[in-house]
A and B are shown apart, each in its own frame.
Chain A
Amino acid sequence: MVDVLVCVKRVVDSSSEVVLTDDAQAVDGRYAGFTMSAHEECAVELAVRAAADAGTTRVVTLGDEDAVEQLRHALAVGCSEATHVVADSSAFGPADVAREMAAVARDHDSQLVLLGNDAADSGDFQVGIRLAYALGWPVINGVSTVTVADGTVTASGTGPEGHETYEVPLPAVVTVLEGGVEPRYPTVTGRMKAKKVQIEEREPTTAPTGPSRVRLLLPPPAPSDVQILGNGPEAAPAVVDVLEQLGVLAR
């Protein structure tokens, strides 16, 4: 039996055009809407599976009032408990977030903490690792499968030289990359159950130091100098001419 904590972040859905807030400190989600990164969806799925034999799965987020939507989603796909650290996540740097997650893990006696490898918005690539140091636990980073048995977590993922496996005694921190599991969709009963769960609300333990952000900016639009080779199948000879010029046709 293992009690798992899984950390998720409410982020702006950046699959369409990205717009910044007026103070250039955050991405504006008013038009695009919000979501959770695919890494975290997989972390939630792995957490639910890891705790399947009588353990608990607590989902935690640090975010504004609306981030409760991401908590409810995680509850609807199988998490059993939820904690909401109510705060403006854009005012928190990676070390601040790690400290807050560590406090939640300690208060709930979690033995395994799962996170996404990197947040879809701030892309700091370090919260999980800082969290491990805050807790004094080992950390496995960037894996896509996680299983727990007899107090040991086994995790694996793609490394530069092949598929790598780690085995680490609990307690431990693991950061997840998408690709190893298929996150399930919430069912109607799942959603109903999620609505009934009492979410623990907390305040941050201390004021954040903040990210070292000066400002955000958008990359300059690249001018298009595309050469249209033609329309439809009639363009095929022109395409193959280009392939010849580029020297990729020779066998």
Chain B
Amino acid sequence: MILVLVETSLEGEAVEVSREAVTFARALSAAGGDRPIDAVTVGEPSADLVATLASYGVRRVHALTGDAFTSYAGAAWASGLISVQEQTGADLVMAAGTPRGNEVMAHVAARTDVAMAANVLAFEGLDPFVVTRQVVGGAALEEMRLGDRVAVLTVAGHAVEPRRAETPGAGELVVETPSIAEADLVARVVSTDEPEPDLSGALTSSRVVVGAGRGAGSADGFTDLLELTDLLGASLGVSRVVTSLGWRPHHEQVGQTGSRISPDLYIPCGISGAIQHWAGCASSKTILAVNTDVDAPMVTKATYAVIGDLHEVVPAINAEIRRRRG
């Protein structure tokens, strides 16, 4: 049996990467044993959420409820998951490779004393259970063996497309209130401040992102790029070089140690496309690169490119947009 931790948005919907993780679980199930898939949510799910998970093939939704789950504590979530794992006899426990997903799975693996594979992209075989996962920020892959008794893994974002099942699952709701030890509540979120309106939330949810790298030249080199951002109702995303040099704040950074974006259109200007940057923008639907170097990795990986100095190209694009809008 497979147990998947499903994270929910503020609106109570299953986040996309969790739906991807359930889709991945289905592929594992189909590859051998037709193992049933149960989901675990924190807090009581809406009827809509249960129905969505059923449409993804979920048999039961175990909802972890009670005082221990009103604010986040990684150890408490893990303890709740393990109680469901023991009850159901699940031999695979997984989550999406989000900060929470990786954290909770690491707790589960440490407590059960088994290996954990973070950011899995695919599986090579079930017997032995070998997975391929991202290492070195996506610049290399690792084949890793898992699963003595219980296998623990997280699925890398966008490793698979989230897809509903051909035959939906029963989607039976089971409300659980496991008892959680005091020790598991010591490291617990004591307060959450609303994110400032302009922080990375806007960046990760934007349909269009304008990117800027070392090619911007200086902290003053962003005027045209910000105008383009404005004209397109887009967000600005930057490379690590830009944040390290203090040209722009860190919350605008895209990449392995910044935000991961998946806009319809990404317009990276003066960004070389190093693997650590690519890790954050690889799931953009279309990429239109502006770069002086026709051989830059960002150019060769893009859908479209303009070869030229961004300080000439971007103002020309802005002028053309204004002209067409009249």
Contacts and interface: CB of A to CB of B under 8 A. Distances in A.
B89 interface: no
A33 B275 CA distance: 16
Contacts of B190: 165-167
B286 A246 contact: yes
Nearest to A228: B305
A212 B144 contact: yes
B161 to A, nearest CB: 18
B103 A142 contact: yes
A19 B99 CA distance: 28
A25 to B, nearest CB: 10
A206 interface: no
Contacts of A98: 110
A123 B134 contact: yes
A152 B143 CA distance: 41
Interface stretch (A57-65, A190-198, A215-223): A215-223
B207 A248 contact: yes
B193 interface: yes
A118 interface: yes
A233 B144 contact: no
A189 interface: no
Interface in B301-319: 301-309, 312-313, 315-317, 319
B264 interface: yes
Interface in B139-179: 139-146, 154
Nearest to A121: B136
Given A27-B136, A236-B313, A126 B72 contact: no
Interface residues of B, number: 92
B276 interface: yes
Contacts, number: 246
For A165, A216, A239, which residue has the most chain B Cβ atoms within 10 angstroms? A239
A242 to B, nearest CB: 6
A122 interface: yes
A120 B306 contact: no
A interface, over-half SS: mixed
B223 to A, nearest CB: 16
Contact of B304 (A122, A162, A226): A226
Interface stretch (B31-39, B50-58, B61-69, B115-123): B115-123
Nearest to A211: B144
B75 interface: yes
Given A163-B195, A165-B191, A246-B265, A123 B10 contact: no
6 contacts: A14-B136, A125-B102, A130-B109, A169-B186, A216-B135, A229-B305
Given A122-B135, A125-B102, A125-B154, 4 more contacts: A160-B7, A163-B192, A179-B251, A212-B146
Interface of B: 7, 9-10, 72, 74-75, 98-100, 102-103, 105-107, 109-111, 113, 115-119, 130, 132-146, 154, 183, 186-195, 199-200, 207-208, 232-233, 240, 250-251, 253, 257, 264-265, 274-276, 286, 288-289, 294, 299-309, 312-313, 315-317, 319-321, 324-325
Interface of A: 12, 14-16, 18, 20, 27, 38-39, 93-95, 98, 118, 120-126, 129-130, 132-133, 138-142, 158-169, 172, 177-179, 211-219, 222, 224-240, 242-244, 246, 248-249, 251
